[in-house]
Chain A
Amino acid sequence: MKRREFLKRSVPLTAAPIYLSGVPISAMTESTNLAALTNAGSLSDRCLVLVFLDGGNDGLNTLIPIDQYDILMRDGSGGDSQPLRRPDLMIPKNKILKLNGLDDTGLHSTMEKFQTLFGEDKLGFVRNVGYPNPNKSHFRSTDIWNSGSSSNEFVTSGWFGRYLSSNHPSFPDGYPNSNYPDPLALSIGNTASNTCQGPIINMGVSIKNLNNFIDIKEGGNNTPDTPYGHELQYIRTASKLTNEYFDRLEEASEKGGATSIEYPGYKLADQLKIVAQLIAGGVKSKIFVVRIGGFDTHDNQVDEGNPETGRHALLMEELSESLFSFQQDIIQRNLEERVLTMTYSEFGRRVFQNKSYGTDHGEAAPMFFISPFVNPNPIGALPSLEYIDNIEYEYDFRSVYGSVLMDWFGVDEVTIKSILYENFQYIPILTGTQTNTSEPHAASKRISTYPNPFNKILNIDIENAEGHTYLKIVDSNGKHISELVNKNLKGGVQKFNFDGSKLSNGLYFILLENNGKRFGSSVIKRN
């Protein structure tokens, strides 16, 4: 299929909302009081947990297109008109996990925990994320995803590193300091992620565990202007930063304390456990990077004769169980509203199977998002898989990154275009699909807000269970704007409207607490 036809039948990309314009990020005050006032967490408290699925995840075996099941089962015996797809890889149709409200898509049978998160409106996804002229080399494509560059451009800094650097241009000179005592970025593992490579130096620190905080010798200051001096200075800088950040992390790790949640025994779970403990201990890094390897499933992606088991099934289980435990942990620690989790992989895999019960390198694939604020409506639609080998991209990954920067970190569009992607197009990953009509559009299945963006009157419909119901609006700094209801209500649909004509332009959150369960949605005010 040609790209133009393909795009036509997909969810339209919308123009980016211009909000927070004129409000420099640095003017947003850091205040723990604000976070205490609201559970939404202020901008300065929010963080992104980035999960790298290393090796190229098979999106079609993760989010399984039930509506194209018969096509994917074709074994090639139908001749040229019905080419081989992936019969040996498909799990039985009745084992595909249903996603509440979706007929055409389900999850791999090992991903029950993702199914639960989706049912709670906490799991969102964007399909067909990729980039034009895709590169099928692991290393080059990983570089492209980490740097946020286009296929033919070689950029050595990481996309998040550039964002951090735009707010901290002199880093590491003068860091850590009293305003920023924490590492700006933290990778769990041996090395700092390239995603956090700034234009000057990696903005991040990496740690492997929470029990090796040891003093590093920093050495002298003679630095000749030679390669020797260059590398010497690098080691000294790294040593100094490490010492300073370790003091802080050690303190935070003690303060955060061990989790009370039982995590599964996976490497990914171990990494996420550290992330939760550190955030709980007060670490305000903007990004935490974790990694799960093994996705390069050229062979034995499934066990011969049993597509429900095999390498990919184990990975799906590790991913879904680990992220679920993490989510339970941060709920327990009262941090859920501050954390957005996002997965990515350097590419998807081919539509057809190879002869080794595996798949070869492909192109676009889905990305997952976990947060109470995600848009639970699927974004993106699969093309017909009948004849194509590769799934072409529908959404550019840089637009995904940019939309997260915009909605989660309040970065303005001009900055996004300058540090990330000139052709940035907003994708409603967190804000719910926008609609200019007055028809309600379910951003969360419990909360509908319309129109979005709104100018004066914002309509808010909620669906609550009988019991205590608390509905409020906060701004993107977490500041309380208005309380709409705070009492016991009978179950059912409740309609509210709110006059926001005096509000300044920007992003606002609607928070619903119903019998102790929390739901969220966000809307944009635009004059």
Chain B
Amino acid sequence: MVKLSEKKKKDIRRDKVLKYANKIEPKFPSFIAGLDTYSGNWNFQMAAHLLRRATIGPSLEEINQSVQDGLDKTLDKLLDEKTINISPPINYLDEDDAEVPLGSTWINAEKRVDDFKRKNSYAAWRVSQILNKERPISLRENMVLFWQNHFATEATVINDARYTYYMHENFRNNFLGDFKQMVKEINVDAAMLTYLSGIYNVKDAPNENYARELFELFTVGKGPIDGEDSYTYYTESDIIEASKILTGWRVNRNHVGRGREYFTLDRHDTSSKTFSEKFGNKTILSNGEKEHEDLIDLIFENERVSEFICEKLYRWFVYYVINDEVKDKIIKPLAKTFRDNNYRVKPVLEQLFKSNHFYEMYIRGAVIKNPISFSLGFLRQFNLSGVEDLNYSEKYYYWKARHNNVSDQGQDMLDHPNVAGWPAYYQEPLFHEYWITSVTLPTRTSHIKYYLSNNGVRASQTDNNVRVKSKPLILINTFDKPEDISHIVNKLCEWLLPVQEEISEDLKNDFVNIVVGNNPNIWEDEYNDYLNEPSEEKEESLNKKLRSLLKEICLMPEYYLS
């Protein structure tokens, strides 16, 4: 336990607990900076802030590179939309999958009754995409999470890993693209048709499951009740009309590869559908398999769509408090950018990440990392040594176990809690405080301790001796003064803890003491000894000290913040 100096102890005020706990959404400065282009210095702290929010667990190297590149070039890299080639998930443990041999991909295979092994493979693969450090920095994986949370589904309900894979693949390929087009595709996406009963939506008895969420969660968002069966932006009757428009779509489970969705006219309601005054009492005429696109065009006539999505992006990347000031200065102008660019996401995020507002002090360190940013982010920053030498089945085993780790903290990448997605992004007034509970606190603690354990982390289903281990010394060796423990602590704090101004010298001294104890020279002596005459034993001894240090730093509440 870090001991605080007496001076600090005096500063504890009993009312702090009450003052800072969420009663309602907290109120902060009445004046915030706007979207005008960032005019301040570009330094390590600013680059680190951008990468912490835009990516998952930025490495020290990536931040240093971004300092060198400057803001514009960094953004070019982050927002590069070029499609990348990724090898798809493979069968790593299902010996009974007649069609897909071990080591081959199942994404173009026939359906499989026992689908859960493919789901496990997909979960593992997703972790591997996030942990990957070989590609240039990109917003991609973070945006896949954003979109899958926006169009949230549950793979267990869908019960076909291929559908979930292709849906998320579309998010990956279009991660900064045309949102309006994305909604049109989601209307008739196999995963969504299955998840929200679209395949059962037929002319004689429209099923309103999807139509309701289309309004409430995917486009205009829910508004207050403003009349009987009326929710400000849409009414119950609009939901019924929309579900009629969406009748007739089915999914061919025997189809292989993309394009398993098809339209059946005989199941489609061909009547004219008339909407409420919320949509200008407009009518959509029968238009076969294009009719659902007409519905999206109608919904997007309401500018509320652009604001709703910009609010969600803001909550994901900046902070959850959207007061009048934020609404006027940030959300509305971003929404205009969104509309002016035909609902392309890239210009919106470019404007946001370039703005004075994004870099002002008020925003920094204010986001509680979600479990993926916390646990997988940690492993990206301190990758365990030996993973690259594992065979594919061991790798997948290791990744799948990490997926279990984040799912234990409430962020399952396959199964969202429900169609509204993770509550941290909508549940008032808690928002991301939702991630921190008496269940997730011990889970976060035990994961970090496990990742930093001197015995390493298990990496094989069958052999307990196959282990991968953190070797922080490899990274420390790249520092300017690796023999100087104060220098190491300073660098680590600067990199890992979000608001440097608030990290006191006392705290840093406490960190140093974790390593040196009563012997101030022990680190320097041991390190020099290791340099002069390296041995595995000496290396491990230094690594042990660094692991203890990292357990202190990365279990500080400050490391939970981004």
CB pair A231 B438 closer than 8 Å: no
Q: How far is the CA of A202 from the CA of B429 in the complex (A)?
A: 11
**Which residue from chain B places its CB closest to the CB of A140 in the assembled complex?**
B222
Decide if A123 is an interface residue (CB 8 Å cutoff).
Answer: no
Contacts of B387 in A (CB 8 A): none
CB pair B18 A228 closer than 8 Å: no
The residue from B28, B410, B441 contacting A242, defined by CB atoms under 8 A apart: B441
Q: How far is the CA of A360 from the CA of B441 in the complex (A)?
A: 38
CB pair B438 A228 closer than 8 Å: no
CB pair B197 A231 closer than 8 Å: no
CB pair B442 A212 closer than 8 Å: yes
Q: How far is the CA of A136 from the CA of B216 in the complex (A)?
A: 11
Query: Which of A20-28, A215-223, A484-492 faces chain B?
Result: A215-223
Query: Which of B112-120, B199-207, B528-536 faces chain A?
Result: B199-207
A389 to chain B, nearest CB (A): 11
Q: Which A273-300 residues have C-beta < 8 A from chain B? A: 293, 296, 298-299
Decide if A445 is an interface residue (CB 8 Å cutoff).
Answer: no
Decide if A145 is an interface residue (CB 8 Å cutoff).
Answer: no
Q: How far is the CA of A54 from the CA of B418 in the complex (A)?
A: 10
Contacts of B430 in A (CB 8 A): 197, 202
A26 to chain B, nearest CB (A): 20
Binding site for B on A (CB under 8 A): 54-55, 133, 135-140, 151-152, 154, 156, 170, 172-173, 189-192, 194, 197, 199-202, 205-208, 212-224, 226-239, 241-242, 245-246, 293, 296, 298-299, 353-356, 358, 360-361
CB pair A234 B498 closer than 8 Å: no
Decide if B466 is an interface residue (CB 8 Å cutoff).
Answer: no
Decide if B542 is an interface residue (CB 8 Å cutoff).
Answer: no
The residue from A151, A233, A356 contacting B207, defined by CB atoms under 8 A apart: A356
A515 to chain B, nearest CB (A): 44
Q: List 10 A-B contacts (CB under 8 A).
A: A138-B418, A200-B21, A206-B438, A219-B558, A220-B2, A231-B432, A233-B20, A233-B21, A235-B368, A242-B441
Query: Which of B9-17, B177-185, B302-310, B342-350 faces chain A?
Result: B9-17
The residue from A208, A212, A223, A231 contacting B446, defined by CB atoms under 8 A apart: A212
Given A223-B16, A232-B558, A234-B21, A133 contacting B225 (CB threshold 8 A): yes
CB pair A358 B197 closer than 8 Å: yes
Q: How far is the CA of A237 from the CA of B22 in the complex (A)?
A: 11
Q: How far is the CA of A237 from the CA of B434 in the complex (A)?
A: 14
Decide if B540 is an interface residue (CB 8 Å cutoff).
Answer: no
Q: Which B410-451 residues have C-beta < 8 A from chain A? A: 410, 418-420, 423, 426-430, 432-434, 436-443, 445-446
CB pair A201 B560 closer than 8 Å: no
CB pair A237 B368 closer than 8 Å: no
A239 to chain B, nearest CB (A): 6
The residue from A191, A235, A239 contacting B410, defined by CB atoms under 8 A apart: A191
Contacts of B438 in A (CB 8 A): 192, 205-207, 238, 241-242, 245-246
Q: How far is the CA of A33 from the CA of B541 in the complex (A)?
A: 58
The residue from A151, A228, A237, A242 contacting B366, defined by CB atoms under 8 A apart: A228
CB pair A135 B225 closer than 8 Å: yes
Question: 20 extra interchain contacts, Cβ-Cβ under 8 A, other than A214-B442, A356-B197?
Answer: A136-B212, A156-B428, A173-B14, A190-B440, A200-B21, A205-B438, A212-B446, A213-B442, A216-B442, A217-B1, A217-B555, A222-B8, A223-B20, A226-B365, A229-B502, A232-B365, A232-B558, A233-B20, A356-B200, A358-B197
Q: How far is the CA of A246 from the CA of B445 in the complex (A)?
A: 14
CB pair B366 A231 closer than 8 Å: yes
Q: How far is the CA of A353 from the CA of B205 in the complex (A)?
A: 9
Q: How far is the CA of A139 from the CA of B368 in the complex (A)?
A: 23
**Which residue from chain B places its CB closest to the CB of A135 in the assembled complex?**
B225
A226 to chain B, nearest CB (A): 6
Decide if B236 is an interface residue (CB 8 Å cutoff).
Answer: yes
CB pair A228 B436 closer than 8 Å: no
Contacts of A293 in B (CB 8 A): 418
Contacts of B23 in A (CB 8 A): 199-201
Given A235-B557, A242-B442, A358-B200, A222 contacting B20 (CB threshold 8 A): no
8 closest A-B pairs by beta carbon, nearest first, are A356-B200, A355-B205, A227-B366, A233-B20, A228-B365, A201-B21, A235-B557, A214-B442
CB pair A355 B204 closer than 8 Å: yes
CB pair A172 B21 closer than 8 Å: yes
Q: How far is the CA of A64 from the CA of B446 in the complex (A)?
A: 48
Decide if B321 is an interface residue (CB 8 Å cutoff).
Answer: yes
The residue from A135, A197, A238 contacting B441, defined by CB atoms under 8 A apart: A238
Given A201-B21, A226-B361, A226-B362, A231 contacting B368 (CB threshold 8 A): yes
Question: Contact flags (1/0) for B140-171 with A, using CB distance below 8 Å?
Answer: 00000000000000000000000000000000
